Amino acid sequence: MKDRALILDFGGVISRTLFETHDLSEKALGLPVGSLTWQGPFAPQTDPLWQAMQADEITERAYWQARTKEVGQLIGEDWTEMSQFVRAARGAEPDAVIRPEFRDAIAACKVAGIRLAILSNELDLFYGADFRSKLPFLADFEVIIDATYTGILKPDPRAYEAVLEALALPASACVFVDDQMRNIRGAEAIGLPAVAFDVMTPAQSYSEALRLLDLERTAP
């Protein structure tokens, strides 16, 4: 097999989203059950802030900054950084919310010799730099490009070009996976094959990515 790579966003592509784990967050933060009601893509009609983000009226960072402040206030904290929310809600066992479909996909890639990379807009900004040490699987990723440090956010073409340059591969040899359509469109604009990750059907999304990499895998 020729040299190929799977390039993943972090966030909801690799871990269960904060929308999916309200019960765990409420327990970790000592909040009553049902305190967190925003559902993002799972119930966009009840989440006006999510609708505004999808309409490009606010950025994804602005969305999470608002939710961080809101949740902090519920427990009497003046949180200003997303990493404060994530550490409090998931810091004890971040590995527990990693998607099994993701683990299966990278295992298949490793067997097939497919290289692995991450292209994130806010990996350390949202999770904190020490978060990486709690996720041993990150050692399998030879390239991690994080706009926390580069300042170049997807869908800026330079973001995709940076990861391709680090891999020393052409766009045609890679497949990019992200859960935000603006980032998918940005990848496609430079000729990078992309899969729009659906957080409601993760197995199907990974199956499509592996198919594009010429790996056979059928989603349940």
User: Residues of 136-149 as b/e, b for ≥16 C-beta within 10 angstroms?
Assistant: eebeebebbbbbbe
Residue 128, pLDDT score: 75
In a domain, 186, yes or no: yes
Q: Tell me: the pLDDT tens digits for 73-108? A: 999 999 998 889 988 988 667 777 899 999 999 999
Domain final position from 76, 94, 112? 94
Quick one: 9 and 64 in the same domain?
Answer: no
Residue 32, pLDDT score: 97
Domain final position from 48, 79, 94? 94
Residue 219, pLDDT score: 41
Quick one: 72 and 106 in the same domain?
Answer: no
Binned at pLDDT 50, 70 and 90, residue 163 comes out as very high
Quick one: 146 and 85 in the same domain?
Answer: no
Q: How far apart are CA 218 and CA 184, in angstroms?
A: 22
Structurally, the chain folds into a number of domains equal to 2
Q: Tell me: the pLDDT tens digits for 105-157? A: 999 999 999 999 999 998 887 777 777 777 889 999 999 999 999 999 999 99
> Strand locations in 45-193, DSSP E?
115-120, 143-146, 174-178
CATH, residue 168? 3.40.50.1000
Domain that holds residue 84: 22-94
Quick one: 151 and 65 in the same domain?
Answer: no
In a domain, 173, yes or no: yes
Quick one: 188 and 125 in the same domain?
Answer: yes
Domain final position from 79, 94, 109? 94
The answer to whether 35 touches 204, Cβ cutoff 8 Å, is: no
In a domain, 217, yes or no: no
Whose CA is closest to 187, among 171, 173, 199?
Answer: 171
Helix axes of 157-167 and 181-189: crossing angle, nearest 10 degrees: 60
Q: How far apart are CA 13 and CA 98, in angstroms?
A: 9
